[in-house]
């Protein structure tokens, strides 16, 4: 009977350890990098408009082609980085939506970037002269 108690105790300990490990791994999903692919504007929320699916929280986003129309339905979202190397007009999905960039925010020289009506753009900013 003593061996049976030890076996059950070890089994329970193993089960608890596996559950905790599973929870920890589930919460450490890595961010992805995704690039806007159309050149005629379109919905931010359409997976086919992105090279690696619609951006999610903490993703790196790249818009590298000149847009002839606005990128619309931009949700409230926090991005790890935003790189814009082509003209872009981002239009929020709703009044009061906030696009936050916690890391690198880059707009190439000669590029026009605008945020459509009723949106807010937040980022940590350090200005350095490249001259």
What pLDDT does 2 receive? 73
- Sheet strands (E) in 11-104: 33-36, 42-43, 60-63, 71-74, 77-79, 81-84, 88-92, 98-101
Q: Is residue 23 part of a domain?
A: no
Q: Is residue 18 part of a domain?
A: no
pLDDT tens digits for range 93-121? 887 788 889 888 888 888 888 877 666 77
Q: How many domains does the chain have?
A: 1
pTM summary value: 0.69
Give the C-alpha separation, 51 to 6, whole Å: 53
Q: Is residue 82 part of a domain?
A: yes
Q: Is residue 22 part of a domain?
A: no
Long-range contacts of 45-49 (CB under 8 A, 24+ apart): 45/73, 45/75, 45/93
Q: Is residue 63 part of a domain?
A: yes
Q: Is residue 116 part of a domain?
A: yes
Q: Is residue 70 part of a domain?
A: yes
Range of the domain at 115: 33-123
Q: Is residue 27 part of a domain?
A: no
What pLDDT does 28 receive? 46
């Amino acid at each position: 009977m003593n061996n049976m108690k030890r076996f059950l105790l070890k089994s329970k300990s193993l089960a608890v350890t596996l559950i905790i490990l599973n929870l920890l791994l589930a919460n450490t999903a890595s961010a992805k990098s995704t690039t806007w692919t159309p050149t005629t504007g379109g919905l931010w929320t359409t997976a086919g408009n992105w090279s690696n699916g619609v951006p999610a929280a903490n993703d790196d986003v790249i818009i590298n082609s000149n847009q002839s129309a606005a990128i619309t339905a931009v949700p409230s979202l926090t991005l790890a980085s935003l790189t814009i190397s082509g003209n872009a007009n981002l239009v929020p999905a709703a009044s009061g939506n906030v696009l936050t960039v916690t890391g690198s925010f880059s707009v190439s020289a000669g590029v026009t970037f605008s945020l459509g009506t009723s949106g807010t753009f937040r980022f940590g900013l350090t200005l350095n002269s490249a001259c």
